[in-house]
Amino acid sequence: MCFGYVGFVRAQDHTPALTQAARATAAEVLAASSELLEEVSRLRSLKIRYPVKSGVKSRAEIEQIVIRNFDEAATPEEVEADRKRLVAFGLLPKDFRYREFMISLLTEQVAGFYQAKTREFFLADWNDLELLKPVIVHELTHALQDQHFDLRRFEKWPRGDGDRELAIQALIEGDATALMFNYMLRPQGLDITRLPVSLSTLSEMMSADPNKTREKVFASAPPAIRQSLLFPYSYGAGFAQEMIRRQGWDGLSHAYSELPQSTEQIIHVEKYLSHEAPVKIELADLSARLGSGWKRLSTDINGEFGYFVILSEFVARKEAQRAAEGWGGDKCALYENEGTGELLLVHISAWDSTADADEFFGAYCTRVTTRYPGIVGRTGLPRNERSYATPDGETFVELKQNRVLIIEGVPLKLRGQLTRLVATLWN
């Protein structure tokens, strides 16, 4: 889930609070933003069209901005649907306080942020002064992006394609992160195109062990939330680095006119450059067939990265990565019985080949049996079908050529309708 467009740079172990002396010099650092803007303009090859407003915000002020942006980006019902979807996938505990946690997490993580709607950036006043210049560089990159590519067009992104929304976030944040790395590497006479390692790998290494961070909320975040927060910065920076290697900064700028279509295109730059678009999946609405009390809460697209996160919660990371790599397209829907609170997930995915689909099919079945230790699949089914009775209802997985259908959480009283539900979804 993304929250409008507010470009921010992660705190990444910044000192929790400034000393009194450091606070006194914050105004001097902010005054240097006009000088840094000239440097960012040169490094990013984007002209300054107008000055950029800047300021400093306290933790309390930033928390209020986070809350406002969070509430403007989605209704309470949409936020709750997102929470329930993550619960249905087994990625959050059933009693997880999603909204409250996300506000605490984002407030902790912000070192600085740029708001497209007001065209100004702010620094968090609790950061160590030695770290402020890279933060300013990151946020000024967002300001120049906005001046040239209009970031405000992403403020009200239509719901239902979270994968593409995350991909566009990765373009924007990856661009600013790559520029920030170049700024920091400049004293050594280096730039990101000459590094022997990708920025995505480097960023992941820096955030590999959440237990070693002083960021307590980030360390306590469920893996799915932590990985989704990091994706725009880590994979986005890797995408930007590879685009710059191949086409220079002008090539990266062109990506704002020809936006990435999926997280697959961010992870595999060659798929972006070859215009490999996602397969569009139609998913029938089962509300009427499920019966009284059932309502479709949301539809979305998981994408390659989404399926990696979903699998890696219960499957070894490398296996999850391999299984997600053949992604071609998908559609996912979440249903709820308003009377009982039962949740039912339906998703159909298309894969690049029958072999890719078979690999995903096997990995997902492993995920189910790992998520619910001790369950055994029903016998007597064809090789391309699996069905499991779980504590959360029946889970059905079927492979057909290069597509995989998954239904999770089918209650006992609907078990007799499973065959008809499957037929409806395949038609």
This prediction's pTM: 0.92
287-426 fold = Protein Transport Mog1p; Chain A (3.40.1000)
Cα–Cα distance for residue pair 208/201, rounded to 1 Å? 10
Q: What is the mean pLDDT of the chain?
A: 89
Block residue for tokens 């990159």: 141
What's the average model confidence in pLDDT over 335-357?
97
- Residues paired with residue 397 on neighbouring β-strands, in sequence order: 386, 406
Cβ 105 vs Cβ 220: under 8 Å: no
Cα–Cα distance for residue pair 324/330, rounded to 1 Å? 12
Q: Where in the chain is the domain with CATH 3.40.1000?
A: 287-426
Q: What would the pLDDT profile of 125-164 be if each residue is shown by its tens digit?
A: 766 656 678 888 999 999 999 999 999 999 878 889 999 9
338 three-class SS: coil
Between residues 244 and 31, the one the model is more confident about: 244
Q: Which helix (H) or strand (E) holds 300?
A: strand 294-300
Q: Minimal CA–CA distance to 298: which of 263, 264, 331?
A: 331
DSSP 334: E
Range with the lowest mean pLDDT among 1-10, 33-42, 201-210, 238-247?
A: 1-10
What's the average model confidence in pLDDT over 313-325?
97
pLDDT score for 12: 52
Q: Cβ-count burial of 117 within 10 angstroms (0-12 exposed, 13-18 middle, 19+ buried)?
A: middle
Block residue for tokens 């949301």: 298
Q: Confidence band (pLDDT; 50, 70, 90) for 6?
A: very low
